Amino acid sequence: MEVPRLGHSISSPTSPCENMIKNLSLEAIQLCDREGHKSQNSGIAEMEELPVPQNIKINNITCDSFKISWDMDPKSKERITHYFIDLNKKENKNSNKFKHKDVPTKLVAKAVPLPMTVRGHWFLSPRTEYTVAVQTASKQSDGDYAVSEWSEIIEFCTADYSPVHLTQLLEKAEVIAGRMLKFSLFYRNQHKEYFDEARVQQGNKMMPSVKDNSGSHGSPISGKLEGIFFSCNTEFNTGKAPQDSPYGRYRFEVQAEVLFNQKTNLYFGDLYCMYTAYHYVILVLAPSGSPGDEFCKQRLPQLNIADNKFLTCTEEDGRLVFHHAQDVILEVIYTDPLDLSLGTVAEISGHQLRSLSTVNAKKDPSCKICNISVGR
């Protein structure tokens, strides 16, 4: 059962008690700190001991919700009117010590049958480790609360975006994609050493590698999907690929039909920006039946290769014709190894613009264009 009117959080890492966030639907009360210390004005009374929640279970975890249940002495249930839930992000040993610390979140719910659902994108983020502890409480006739000791601390990790969340991102991306431009080549920029290693140590092949953590924090492909990044955007005035690149002075070019054809499935992967006016759309090209295809089928929205807003492959007069969206920067992940003999490698004449690199780029959480109402 979902928590009735679950809603507000208390943010105070140092003070034992704070006012609840205004305009949220739960009854505002004051809480004691984790050690059970009570301030003179805490509104928490002494009375017969309440049962401490035992054997806490967390399940049905999504990117912004989870279900929680525990064992209690049935004889004491009638005295319990509320549950206090102390939810905190698990400390990261590698976190920046100068960064503002994430504050704890204290949730209050009326006692309902267990399990109950804790849901809220303002305090739960996807792919994030949390700790949780629970108190039982009894509201007294004078408005004070009697509370149990805190339960044991349980750890859990929230999930990735689901296909439903990705579909919301997809719909936002479609709005800003713009008109379609023709193109004929996919290209990949790297340093000379990258291509030398592919020739000598990898049998003349570029091999898939695990995608970095750029883009949405909840993306199900970050750190999991293996592939090779390609670009296909062209300059409006020339119809050709730009000569500048953030990734290296050497460019592999391959005819579009080698990667993208009727035997390829196309998936939407992500929409994000890096505090800039322009946006990136991540697409996945997976040969039908390949391991990458099976991975994406379970996690990503599939696109019609001939009819979508980002990247199309159609047949005209017996040959394949390709178009890409003009107003977004496409990052295309191809999920299979690719032999260098299928294309050409040459040095570009432009500059290496390192500042434009999206490697492990963090998404702007405040952008209204590319964020949805779940954890960022």
Q: What is the pLDDT of residues 195-219, one digit of tens each?
A: 999 999 999 999 999 999 888 889 9
Burial class (CB in 10 A: 0-12, 13-18, 19+), 140: middle
Amino acid at 352: Q
Q: What is residue 98's predicted lDDT score, i.e. its pLDDT? A: 39
In the structure, what pLDDT confidence band is assigned to residue 42 with cuts at 50, 70 and 90? Answer: very low
Are both 194 and 271 inside the same structural domain?
yes
Are both 332 and 196 inside the same structural domain?
yes
Residue linked to tokens 């919700």 = 65
The verdict on residue 181 lying in a domain is yes
How confident is the model over 120-144, as a mean pLDDT? 86
How confident is the model over 226-250, as a mean pLDDT? 83
Q: What is residue 100's predicted lDDT score, i.e. its pLDDT? A: 40
Q: Is the CA virtual torsion 319, 281, 217, 24 positive or negative? A: negative
Residue closest to 270 by CA, chosen among 207, 227, 322, 206? 227
Are both 202 and 97 inside the same structural domain?
no
The verdict on residue 35 lying in a domain is no
Distance CA 214, CA 360 (A): 4
Residues 6+ apart with CB under 8 A from 245: 189, 251, 348, 350, 352, 353
Reported pTM: 0.78
**Helix, strand, or coil here: 316?**
strand
**Helix, strand, or coil here: 294?**
helix
Are both 213 and 334 inside the same structural domain?
yes
Max CA pair span of the chain: 85
**Structural domain count, the chain:** 2
Are both 244 and 129 inside the same structural domain?
no
Are both 68 and 208 inside the same structural domain?
no
Give yes or no for a contact between 225 and 210, defined as CB atoms under 8 angstroms apart.
Answer: yes
The mean pLDDT of the chain is 82
The tens digit of pLDDT for each residue in 347-362 reads: 887 655 555 556 666 7
Range of the domain at 123: 54-158
